[in-house]
Structure 1
Amino acid sequence: MSGSGTLKIPATRNRLTTGQLPRFASLYTLGVAFVLAAAVMGLIGFNAFGLAAFTSVFYLILISALSTAIENRRKAMDRFVRGLVTVAFLLALAPLVSTLWTVFSKGIGIISPAFVFTSGGSPTINPNTLEIVSSPGALQAIVGTLEITGLATLFSVPIGLLTAIYLVEYAAPTFWLRRVVNFLVDVMTGIPSIVAGLFAFSLFSLLVGPKAFSGLSAAVALSVLMIPTVVRSSEEMLRLVPADLREASYALGVTKYVTIMRIVVPTAIAGLATGVTLAIARVIGETAPIFMAASFTDAFNGNPLNGPMQTLPVMAYTGYKFPGQDIALSNDQAWGAALLLVALVIVLNLIARIIAMIFAPKTGR
């Protein structure tokens, strides 16, 4: 009580903000860590990887020390682990970003309507020497990629989906055939891709003779790689369907076949479509099996039943391994084929996301 008769209440500290780092403390700490790392790299020699590594180490040390001094040990450990996880994520993301940037920067220069819509033997002008040279273009590779991958999908999806339905809906857990199928699927998952190509080439050599190169042979090789992926992804999606839906259908007198076709598969259709699309994206970039089974050619061949066919991954490989007279132009064409392949894989993944959003079960009323 003061002399004027007023009561002074001592100021209290806000417990919600006491003992906490400022809102942008992590950002400021990262800036300080970057400056320290740049100073260290200036002394020992600049290197992008070293700069990122020193910045990460300094950040983890500084944020842990600040949090320990101002907050407490538990929050300091939380910030340290959070920063460690973030650094690990960025390290895992760095190769992907570096690969995409390298392919884009080296391949964008040759991408043009003439490159995409022309095929073998099309004349073009070398921008370095101004000479007219024969450029293979990429049309035959684009058509070959789409045809071979489409045939492989046509072979693999029915087999993989029906196998998954058998394993989930029909086979008893202890049935011997179920164990055999699971074992064979696991073995097929680990088969090297070149072995699949040798298998397809050997099979067609026995059927049609020594000249067995064809798009159909390559499609069979890719289907060997696709089937186990489709089986496992479809099996997991079918297992996620609640058993209550099946039991409710059986209680109404619906047969097992109709229950699977009208209840189980439509419920899991989003996951099934996503798994199939990702399986396609996984095999569309295979080089070894296609090179063994379909060989390669610069001429346009739209018939998958006869003769060698070209694909984008094989075109990228042969552009470096078997360059033409103009080595620089062959390398540019290889990077252009790689860029087209990456763009095709990105489009397939976007299609998978769109399909998942469209066919996903609606949770709202």
Structure 2
Amino acid sequence: MVSSIYKKTFSVLMKRPFRLWGISLLAEFLCLVAYAGFIGVPAAAFCAALLLSASMSMIFLNSYRTGLEPKTSYLFASFKKDRILRVLGGMAWMQLWIFLWSLIPIVGIVFGIIRMYEYRFVPYILMTRDDVKPTDAIKISKQETMGYKGKMFGADILLGAVYLGVFLVFTLLGEIPYLGVLFRILWVLIAIAYGLLAPLFSGIMHAAFYVEIQNRRAAGSWHPAAPARPDWPTPPVQPVQPSAPVQPERPIPPTQPVQSAAPEQPVCPVPPVVQPSFTEAVTQPASQGAPVVFSPEPEPQQPPEEPVQTQPSDLRCPRCGAAVKIPGAMFCTICGERLK
């Protein structure tokens, strides 16, 4: 940021250096006249110096923004009726607070320098924003310079460091015999040019910081959202077709009771078939010789029982004369006659 501001400031200064230098010289002359004319009233000279300082800040700001040639009438822009009290009050309020902070023992100089950088945008705010109160200009300047005071301080230090470095180089070159006089003359010319152009360069650089910070804050307030992910194309929604009218439900006929199946006949348990068991031979080790094998003795088989043969009876039916085959029968199986 500092390097880009240096380049832009140098290009603006090189376009119209004499015009800017003449107007700044006129402003310094008017300040001297004010101090000389109001010797008995230093407050009046102080007020005139504050108004001229605000006008010069506005000239540098317009030169940086537009690049157009500044006019001498711009030097008296802060003396208008509708602006003089507002600008004068804001500038005096700023100087008062810088003075009060500088009164702190030991560290007062440090705090005074910090407040100078915090309130650097007060002239631009008073000259360009009519809606801001004079006492609120330092608050707004403090908010806008937050995070940039170090860069502004570094830019000012760099400008002084360049001057100091050139001074040391030409001082050493001036010690060269015979040629040292030439380097001393060059150093005098450079010092004069620096004294004439350094205040202009510094004024334009301060205005450049104000413009660039305003642009960054404006771009940051927009904070463009991150690019949204492309949505997948959604299929077109088909219109809902009207549904067919619902037909009334018909009464369900009563269901016939399910006839239970016939009860199952009890199954007679079948006695399990007992397989004859054969006992394995058990071998026991003998004390001497080959092992003795003990085999189970076969069970004795019982002889089958002979069926009992019924003796045929000599009883006959008295009616049909048929022989009664069933012993103890009371009726004839042929004619049904009662037997005696």
Q: TM-score, normalised by structure 1?
A: 0.21
Q: Which has the larger radius of gyration?
A: 2
Q: TM-score, normalised by structure 2?
A: 0.22
Greater RCO between the two (CA within 8 Å, min separation 6)?
A: 1
